[in-house]
Amino acid sequence: MVPRAVADSGGPARQPGRSSVQMQIPSWDDHFLFGPHVSVTATAASGVANPRRRNIAIIAHVDHGKTTLVDAMLHQSGVFRANERVEERAMDNTELERERGITIMAKNTAIHYGDLLINIVDTPGHADFGGEVERTLTMVDGVLLLVDASEGPLPQTRFVLRKALEHGLKPIVVINKIDRQDARPAEVLDEIYDLFIDLDATEDQIDFPVLYANGKAGTASLDAALPGENLRPLLDAIVEHMPPPTGDANAPLQVLVSNLDSSEYLGRIAIGRIVNGRVALGDEIAVSKIDGRIERTRVTKLYTFDGLQRVEVKAAAAGDVICLAGIDDITIGETITDSESPRPIPPLHVDEPTVSMIFGINTSPMAGRDGKFVTSRNLKERLARELIGNVSIRVQDTESPEQMNVIGRGELQLSILIEMMRREGYEIQVSRPQIVTREVDGGIEEPVEHLVVDVAEDYQGVVIAQLGTRRATMTKLVNHGSGRIRLEFRIPTRGLIGFRSQFLTDTRGTGIMNHLFDGWEPWHGPIAGRPTGALVADRSGKATAFAIYNLQERGEIFIEPGTQVYEGMVIGENARTSDMDVNVTKEKKLTNMRQSTADDALRLVPPRLLNLEQSIEFINDDELVEVTPGSIRLRKRVLAFNQRPKKDS
Ligand SMILES: Nc1nc2c(ncn2[C@@H]2O[C@H](COP(=O)(O)OP(=O)(O)OP(=O)(O)O)[C@@H](O)[C@H]2O)c(=O)[nH]1
Ligand SMILES: [Mg+2]
């Protein structure tokens, strides 16, 4: 089904530009959803804080269309002017989110529907950012669970739904991307029911409304066979089925801080939902800190959400989601409360992270060339700052004052942090990711994951073999008969480190893999690291085409001619298991005058330039990734050839 693009009823047609995209959203009179034909009849019941509010989160597996659906909601509620150019996925507004096309941080927005204000939190779907979803759920009363109409529920669908059900939230199921050629809504709905049952949902929760949506076109329908015309069926379902926020506006104030934002002008901004009470500009309030201290302050700036903006308000009450600026040092999990009778809300607990990396100051001979922040104090301060807004990261001291152990939910989360630091001007070096273990009854336990892979049948053998060496056990094999099969495994988290690039190579880039933390198990025994050795520069200098030409048959080269190298820098992958120290700066012996153009004649294999994530996946325990604003280099931990312990091969 291809949606019909309807011309705007007024104003110029939207112009697609280089940086904006013409939304295929049926448009109408901007006030369509404000019009008198929308009447909302919710009445105040006992315990209802505000019958004209709905607070919801949109949750799903990665890429199932959450942010795109929010776009459509914003468009149809008239947030944008008719001819306003709006970027696709407007909520993904950070640089890294836009570059990668994924949501990294949960964000708030709000739309008007009839006389209702619907506060919406768009959440990330990637498993590494699950902590964002967890903290967000304290702000809402219900969730839209989006499920791709072809892919069906995937590991993160399970994770986010489990968290939502644990919070007792009301779900509405949205089977999205119904326009896909391979959509199979009836089967997917069955799988969703199975998932709810599996997660011990209550009868009330299983009795969820179902909508079929094309978030990209901005349509929803109650019937899979009848394409919708707009999102009204979905918005009506929210009004009808999502409970209005409960709470008592006359009780002492309680706001649980669930999100932070900041602006140059306002400083740190605390975002949370007023659970009880009311708050107004000028009020004296207390902040109940994580460590139990109570700090008194005054409300100087108060906002609520409206579309993509924050709007200043004078007062707000139970059920509202608010932003408060001007409170120094406030962090997630603290309670803003009544100054006379402070009532802290127990802070939220999120799942503990399981993957760690050592972040150290850059000790390479090229340190300090392009970074602004290079000292251990800089590093410590930056990591301390990260802890404020990032609930699922832990930072520990190590024996060395120049290194910190950073623990997160996965390689992606940690590499996003590294990438952010690099762009801010930091220079660091990081180790191969390790997993966190724990001791139980004298034995060691390690985290294990539920892994789901989708591959073409042809690659089934190689993927199963590769996972076998990583101590995975297959738990399920489903063949949908489409030429692709879905395999499920239990695998130690350790076995997944560095697996993604291997998997993409093995499946020629066509495989899809997703995994999710699934508990602790006794140590599974050793898992071999990278089977190949490294080509290591044996001296500093500039790499020459001549040297690279002579080395390229030994393995794969990671650098281009002209790259500055140093002793101990990894410049390629050896085809053999041992490391090989090589002179990559060697010049051709000059016999006469016509030397300078000789290099041009050499046929060089294009180098495999590794990005940050690929570098982190590549390194072994005796190697590091050096990250600076301008470069990513691989190196041996011990640079000097004669001091390096030899690997047995
Ligand atoms: N065919 C089709 N594609 C869609 C639809 N909705 C979203 N997409 C596409 O799916 C991709 C992912 O969309 P997003 O909105 O970024 O998904 P998301 O759930 O927000 O992703 P994360 O936040 O990273 O978890 C984009 O390429 C969208 O254009 C839909 O209804 N139909
Ligand atoms: Mg998103």
- Closest C-alpha residue for ligand 1 atom 13: 65
Q: Give the residue ranges of the chain where pLDDT is below 50.
A: 1-46, 649
| Ligand 1 atom closest to residue 180's alpha carbon, by position in its atom list | 1
Q: Is the CB of 60 under 6 A from ligand 1?
A: yes
426 to 432, 439, 534, 563, 629: CA distances (angstroms): 19, 35, 26, 21, 7
- Ligand 1 atom nearest to 217, measured from its CA: 31
- Which positions ≥6 away from 137 have C-beta within 8 Å? 57, 143, 163, 164, 167, 169
As a whole number of angstroms, the distance between CA 104 and CA 390 comes to 11
Q: Is 89 in the pocket of ligand 1 (CB under 6 A)?
A: yes
Nearest CA to ligand 1 atom 3: 177
State in Å: Cα 550 to ligand 2 middle.
Answer: 47
Q: Could you identify the atom of ligand 1 that is nearest to the CA of residue 64?
A: 19
Amino acid at 322: I
Evaluate: CB of 61 within 6 angstroms of ligand 1: no
Q: How far is the CA of 67 from the centre of ligand 2 (A)?
A: 4
Residue 238: both structure tokens together? 């929210």
Atom of ligand 1 nearest to the CA of 102: 24
**Residue 18 CB: number of other CB atoms within 10 A?**
5
Asked if 51 and 42 touch (Cβ cutoff 8 Å), the reply is yes
**pLDDT at residue 32, rounded to an integer:** 38
Whether the CB of 59 sits within 6 Å of ligand 1: no
Nearest CA-CA partner of 487 in 498, 501, 472:
472
List Cβ neighbours of 358 (8 Å cut-off, separation of 6 or more): 398, 403, 404, 405, 406, 430, 431
pLDDT tens figures, 226-244: 989 999 999 999 999 999 9
The verdict on the CB of residue 102 being under 6 Å from ligand 1 is yes
Q: For residue range 519-574, what is the model confidence (pLDDT) as tens digits?
A: 999 999 999 888 899 999 999 999 999 999 999 999 999 999 999 999 999 999 99
Tokens 């198990």, residue located: 521
Q: Which residue type sits at 68?
A: T
Return the residue whose CA atom lies nearest to atom 30 of ligand 1.
177
C-alpha to C-alpha distance for 443 and 427, rounded to whole angstroms = 38
- Partners of 269 in the β-ladder: 261, 325
Tokens 């990032």 sit on residue: 390
26 lines ligand 1 (CB under 6 A): no
Minimum-distance ligand to the CA of 144?
1
**Does the beta carbon of 136 lie inside 6 Å of ligand 1?**
no
Residue with CA nearest ligand 1 atom 2: 177
Report the separation in Å between the CA atom of 439 and the middle of ligand 1, taken as the mean of its atom positions. 41
State in Å: Cα 429 to ligand 1 middle.
34
In the beta sheet, which residues pair with residue 536? 570, 581
Instruction: Indicate the pairing of strand 170-176 with strand 142-148.
Output: parallel
CA 204 to the chain's CA centroid: 31
Ligand 2 centroid to 470 CA: how many Å? 31
Cα Rg, the chain, nearest whole Å: 27
| Whether residue 175 has its Cβ less than 6 Å from ligand 1 | no
Nearest to 516 by CA among 458, 459, 607, 451: 451
Distance in angstroms (rounded) separating the CA atoms of residues 523 and 518:
14
- Backbone phi and psi for residue 190, each to the nearest 5 degrees, phi listed first: -60, -45
Quote the CA–CA distance of 148 and 68 in Å, as a whole number. Answer: 13
Residue 176 beta carbon below 6 angstroms from any ligand 1 atom:
yes
Helix axes 185-198, 155-166, angle to 10 degrees: 50
Alpha-carbon distances of 222 from 27, 35, 72, 187, 227, rounded to whole Å: 20, 22, 17, 16, 9
CB atoms within 10 A of CB 542: 13
185: CA distance to ligand 1 center in Å?
17
Three-state DSSP class for residue 618: helix
Q: Could you tell me the end-to-end alpha-carbon distance of the chain, in angstroms, rounded to an integer?
A: 58
* Closest ligand to residue 175's CA: 1
CA of 215 to the centre of ligand 1 (A): 8
**455, 531, 520, 453: which is closest to 492 by C-alpha?**
520
CA distance 213 to 175: 6
User: What gap in Å lies between CA 20 and CA 88, rounded to an integer?
Assistant: 7
In this structure, the residue with its CA closest to atom 9 of ligand 1 is: 65
- The helix/strand/coil state of 409 is coil
**Three state DSSP letters for 178-231:** CCCCCCCHHHHHHHHHHHHHHCCCCHHHHCCCEEEEECCCCEEECCCCCCCCCC
Residues whose CB falls within 8 Å of the CB of residue 432, separated by 6 or more in sequence, listed in order = 357, 497, 498, 529, 616, 619, 620, 621, 623
What whole-number distance in Å separates Cα of residue 343 and Cα of residue 335?
8
70 lines ligand 1 (CB under 6 A): no
* Ion ligand 2: residues, Cβ under 5 Å: 66-67, 103
Distance 105 CA to ligand 2 centre (A): 9
Kindly give the distance from the C-alpha atom of residue 99 to the centroid of ligand 1, in angstroms, as a whole number: 15
DSSP-derived secondary structure letter, 246: B
C-alpha closest to that of 474 among 458, 491, 462: 491
Cα 603 to ligand 2 centre (Å): 44
- Assess contact for 355 and 435: CB atoms under 8 A: yes
Indicate the top mutation candidate among 25, 64, 68, 92 to test ligand 1's pocket, ranked by most ligand atoms within 8 A of CB: 68
The reported pLDDT for the residue numbered 600 is 55
